[in-house]
């Protein structure tokens, strides 16, 4: 019986993950990290709605000028900071709904790559194309990356994507009337969607090599975006000149 079990080929998803999947451990872990980070800022600031006054928040949110000056950890850590309880709740609710679907389809390793590169895609887009003035924070880049991934997965499975398209468009349009970062959301959406497309379209032969190549290509693109903006802000004088236009 054991020998027979070993000889049975396990069902695979379009990305090559084992179809059984198991618990969405990575999604649960990301939610836990985001919630714990928020709690830490609330405890330190003494306010659930004005937690951005916390020194943890100040030292980890993405401020383009400080990031370009060498504080590069901000492009990652900012994805775990949130402006108040509502901001956190909206992002975690979306992650709770969308995350397990994509984790099941891609598998834990591929899913982790899509999540973090989408997070960086949001940071890179806001960093390169945005102003030096705002403070950027939130898991929205990663969440929109997963929405982009969901569009690709559903399209691949020949399922109706109209509802997802409407939700994405409404969220992007709402950015025009709020303080949310449209650039950050678009950056995450594009990276998550394209990376997932590359993963599900990879041929079965040499699938892993193609998928690793797609991850490396996305990482190189993002590094180039960060480097380009850093070069534009390579002197204190240039940064101050642009920063003064925000006041």
Active site residue ranges: 140, 185
Of residues 128, 32, 26, the one with CA closest to residue 75: 128
Do the beta carbons of residue 152 and residue 200 sit within 8 Å?
yes
Give the three-state DSSP class for 181. Answer: coil
- DSSP assignment of 78-120 equals GGG--SHHHHHHHHHHHHHHHHHHHHHHH-HHHHHHHHHHHHH
CA 224, chain centre distance (Å): 18
- Please, which residues have CB within 8 angstroms of residue 161's CB and are 6 or more apart in sequence? 151, 154, 155
149 pairs with which residues across the strands?
none
* Letter string b/e over residues 64-76, b meaning 16 or more CB atoms within 10 A of that residue's CB: bbbbbeeeeebbe
* CA angle (217 as vertex; 211, 218 as ends), nearest 5: 95
């Amino acid at each position: 019986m054991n020998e027979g079990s070993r000889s049975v080929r396990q069902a695979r998803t379009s990305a090559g993950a084992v179809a059984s999947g198991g618990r969405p451990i990575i999604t649960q872990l990301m939610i836990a990290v985001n919630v714990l980070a928020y709690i830490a800022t609330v405890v330190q600031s003494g306010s659930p709605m004005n937690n951005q006054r916390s020194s943890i928040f100040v030292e980890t949110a993405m401020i383009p000028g400080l990031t370009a000056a060498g504080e590069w950890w901000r492009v990652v850590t900012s994805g775990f900071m949130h402006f108040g309880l509502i901001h956190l709740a909206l992002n975690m609710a979306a992650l709770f709904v969308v995350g397990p679907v994509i984790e099941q389809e891609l598998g834990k390793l591929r899913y982790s790559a899509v999540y973090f590169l989408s997070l960086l895609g949001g940071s890179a887009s806001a960093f390169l194309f945005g102003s030096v003035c705002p403070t950027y924070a939130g898991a929205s880049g990663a969440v929109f990356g997963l929405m982009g991934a969901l569009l690709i997965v559903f399209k691949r499975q020949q399922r109706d994507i109209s509802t997802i398209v409407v939700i994405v468009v409404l969220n992007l349009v709402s950015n025009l009337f709020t303080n949310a970062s449209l650039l950050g959301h678009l950056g995450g959406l594009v990276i998550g969607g394209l990376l997932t497309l590359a993963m599900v379209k990879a041929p079965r032969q040499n699938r892993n090599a193609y998928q690793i190549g797609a991850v490396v290509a996305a990482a190189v693109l993002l590094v180039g975006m960060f480097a380009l903006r850093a070069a534009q802000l390579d002197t204190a004088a240039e940064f101050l000149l642009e920063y003064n236009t925000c006041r």
